[in-house]
Amino acid sequence: MNIELQCCALFIIFTITVMFIREKKLDLMNRKLFQRAISACFACLIFDILSVVLINLSVNSGFNPFITGIVCKLYIMLLVLQGYFGYVYASTSLLPRNKTWAKAARIIFHLIFATGEIMMLVLPIDYTASGRIVYSFGPSTSVAYTLSAIFILSTIVTTLAYRKNMPGRRFIAMLLWQGIWLLAAAIQFVVPSLLLVGFASAFGMVILYIQLENPSEFIDGSTGLFTTNALSAYVHDKYKFGRKFSLFTAKIHYLTNYVDYNMEQAAVMRTSRALVNLGPEPAFRIDDDTFCVVYEDTDRMMERAANIKMQKDGVTDLPAKGTYLLIPDSTIMSGPDEFFRFLHTYLETDQEITIADEMLVHKLREQNRIKELIDEALRQDRVEVFYQPFYNVKKQCFDVAEALVRIRREDGSLIPPGEFIPVAEETGMIIPLGVSIFEKICQFLSKGEVQKLGLRQIEVNISAAQFDFDNPYKFVLEYIDRYNIAPGFINLEITETAAAKNREIMLKNMSNLIEKGVSFSLDDFGTGRSNIDYFINMPVSVIKFDYTFTRSYFENDKTKYVLTGMVDILHKMNMSVVAEGIETEEQFNVMTEMGVEYIQGYYFSRPIPEDEYIEFLKKNNRTDKSQREE
């Protein structure tokens, strides 16, 4: 009998099925559909072999033809079922869930399948056996071949139509699976003695298993937990098919700078074992030191999270602490993209326990909105520089200005800096924003007009994020050289926070830039740690008193002594002082009598655009003081 290939295929499918069942796997829709497809393939092969055996017995030994006919019909019905499951496997992951036409397509194909199965059941079937040529034929078989072709071609067409929506590996695997099956059917139609269809379908299952559905690819080798890729697939699956879930995340923070491999592994393994012991829910290792568990029930997640925290609080032999992120309800986020954006953002917090709620999600959405707004403004050149003049008390002129970034909306209105600067700092957008501003400042200086009006220097803010940049020293000098600017016209303002976060990198860049002629000032003095180390060891020539510090002088007697003493100390260190936030004549007089060299504030001018700043200099930087006071 001609059943060698079918027996071989049956053995292959049996082996894959056993491996698939025994492997640790996630409850994904694709895996459920793959399990249906492989079950249909397994059953189809069994009835393929059985039909060949019974046809031979009926033709050669007079076996009951009615039973043989029933088995042959069951075989071709299972063959069509396998083709239908193949189409469902492909289309479920590719076709949109909520589109009317997609829903209609699912109903139509389901009706085609159901109608075809009924037709195959009621239509007559016949069979023949001559040597190794054994096959069934008749109206029922014709319906089976037609429907199988429809499902195979539909799967191929769907795969081709949505090839941009799937990874290349999945695209190739799907085409190979259906293409091999179609080719085998064509060969078997031409050469009936070659019963290749069953073997081709089994071979297709092997391709799918190895390329797409091998559970071991989702397993972390060292802990046995699921990987980040597994979490991504799981979350996408949950959102696509509208299934609510809760998630608990734990992150290990080591309390020492030196963590050897054995200590790290001990912490990782103890954490993974604790998560596995919580219950049957899937546990994931999503980073070297970050783990999570997904739950169907919020109350159970809260209970298990409390259990893990209690276990961690009882650990005393490892120098580590844990921070925990809980997402009780996945539906408060719009989809997987927002979910993972939230996860990435709030996993980095130092807060011990963070619980996701509508307020945090709204904050994240606002942050993303502002980030997109900054990016759009950079692309459309709607980023501007405003200048706020400094009054030089000794020279009685405005020879320094601070450059301040502004973003203009498409309607021409300005976005308040307090709305976008914090987001730019948090998201890293401050780096391209800072580069754009610096280039505009260099363009402004390259015109030479403000120098003729008495401008000696422009102060530019540098953030902590910019000093994490690959080479801020390089981009500063690149634009200075490109626009032929004397380095002495540039003074870079750094904050105490930036100095604290990036001390080594900052000192290196400062030293390089100072050698080229760029100077530095320490901004916002009085709001941070105000550690004396910052202005003793940082190579700055100017200290800027923050406006809250200078205003406090007029409200708090203790601040008077501190500020007066600091001015005296800084002068003895040959440093100049800028008083920010001066708004009244009284404040101006007090600061000048104290010996402050520069005054900045609304008393003289708000930050103003480039053209207004030029007019300001023309009006106020006359050589004759009496003219200036007119």
User: Cα separation of 98 and 503, whole Å?
Assistant: 53
Question: Which residue has tokens 């803010």?
Answer: 461
Q: Average the pLDDT over 532-554 and give the result.
A: 81
Chain-centroid distance, C-alpha 326: 18
Q: Check residue 504 and give its pLDDT.
A: 74
> What are the pLDDT digits (tens) for 514-523?
999 999 998 8
More confident residue, 53 or 529: 53
Confidence at 467, pLDDT banded by 50, 70, 90: low
Q: Check residue 487 and give its pLDDT.
A: 93
Closest Cα to residue 495, out of 521, 533, 470, 468?
Answer: 521
User: Cα separation of 612 and 594, whole Å?
Assistant: 31
Q: Check residue 94 and give its pLDDT.
A: 86
> What are the pLDDT digits (tens) for 329-341?
999 999 999 999 9
Q: Is 85 a residue whose pLDDT tops 80?
A: yes
Confidence at 125, pLDDT banded by 50, 70, 90: very high
Contact in structure between 610 and 387 (CB atoms under 8 Å): yes
| Dihedral pair phi/psi, residue 401, rounded to 5° | -140, 150
User: Cα separation of 458 and 442, whole Å?
Assistant: 10
Q: Check residue 626 and give its pLDDT.
A: 40
Q: Is 560 a residue whose pLDDT tops 60?
A: yes
DSSP per-residue letters across 286-301: EETTEEEEEES-HHHH
User: Cα separation of 160 and 396, whole Å?
Assistant: 74
Query: Most confidently modeled of 54-68, 128-142, 199-213, 244-258?
Result: 54-68
Task: Provide the strand spans (E) within 184-223.
Answer: none
Percentage with pLDDT > 90 across the chain: 41
User: Cα separation of 338 and 365, whole Å?
Assistant: 8
DSSP per-residue letters across 51-75: HHHHHHHHHHH---HHHHHHHHHHH
Question: Which residue has tokens 């301040």?
Answer: 404
Confidence at 630, pLDDT banded by 50, 70, 90: very low
User: Cα separation of 183 and 204, whole Å?
Assistant: 12
> What are the pLDDT digits (tens) for 201-227?
888 888 888 877 776 778 888 888 999
Confidence at 548, pLDDT banded by 50, 70, 90: confident
User: Cα separation of 460 and 445, whole Å?
Assistant: 13
In sequence order, the β-bridge partners of residue 123 are none
Question: Which residue has tokens 């071949």?
Answer: 145
217, two tokens: 């690819």
Q: Check residue 533 and give its pLDDT.
A: 63
Question: Which residue has tokens 């023949």?
Answer: 128
User: Cα separation of 432 and 435, whole Å?
Assistant: 5
Class of domain 219-356: alpha beta
| Dihedral pair phi/psi, residue 538, rounded to 5° | -80, 135
Give the CB-side neighbour count of residue 294, counting CA atoms within 13 A: 24
Q: Is 229 a residue whose pLDDT tops 50?
A: yes
> What are the pLDDT digits (tens) for 96-119?
888 889 889 999 999 999 999 999
Task: Provide the strand spans (E) within 68-217.
Answer: 126-130, 133-137
Q: Is 529 a residue whose pLDDT tops 60?
A: no
Q: Is 627 a residue whose pLDDT tops 50?
A: no
User: Cα separation of 493 and 470, whole Å?
Assistant: 19
Tell me which of 3.40.50.300, 1.20.1740.10, 1.20.1070.10, 1.20.140.10 is the CATH number of domain 4-216.
1.20.1070.10
Q: Average the pLDDT over 24-32 and give the result.
A: 84
> What are the pLDDT digits (tens) for 398-442?
999 999 999 998 888 998 888 898 888 888 888 889 889 999 999
Any idea which of 16-20, 396-400, 612-616 has the lowest mean pLDDT?
16-20
Contact in structure between 90 and 109 (CB atoms under 8 Å): no
Percentage with pLDDT > 70 across the chain: 92
Q: Check residue 402 and give its pLDDT.
A: 95
| C-alpha gyration radius of the chain | 37
Question: Which residue has tokens 């220097």?
Answer: 457
Q: Check residue 444 and give its pLDDT.
A: 95
402, two tokens: 């601070």
Give the CB-side neighbour count of residue 534, counting CA atoms within 13 A: 24
Q: Check residue 245 and give its pLDDT.
A: 94
User: Cα separation of 368 and 341, whole Å?
Assistant: 9
What's the DSSP call for residue 44?
Answer: H
Domains 4-216 and 367-623 share a fold: no
CATH architecture designation of domain 367-623: Alpha-Beta Barrel (3.20)
DSSP three-state, residue 226:
strand
Q: Is 498 a residue whose pLDDT tops 70?
A: no
User: Cα separation of 114 and 147, whole Å?
Assistant: 11
Q: Check residue 552 and give its pLDDT.
A: 87
Q: What residue spans define the domains of the chain?
A: 4-216, 219-356, 367-623
Question: Which residue has tokens 């033709």?
Answer: 59
User: Cα separation of 143 and 123, whole Å?
Assistant: 9
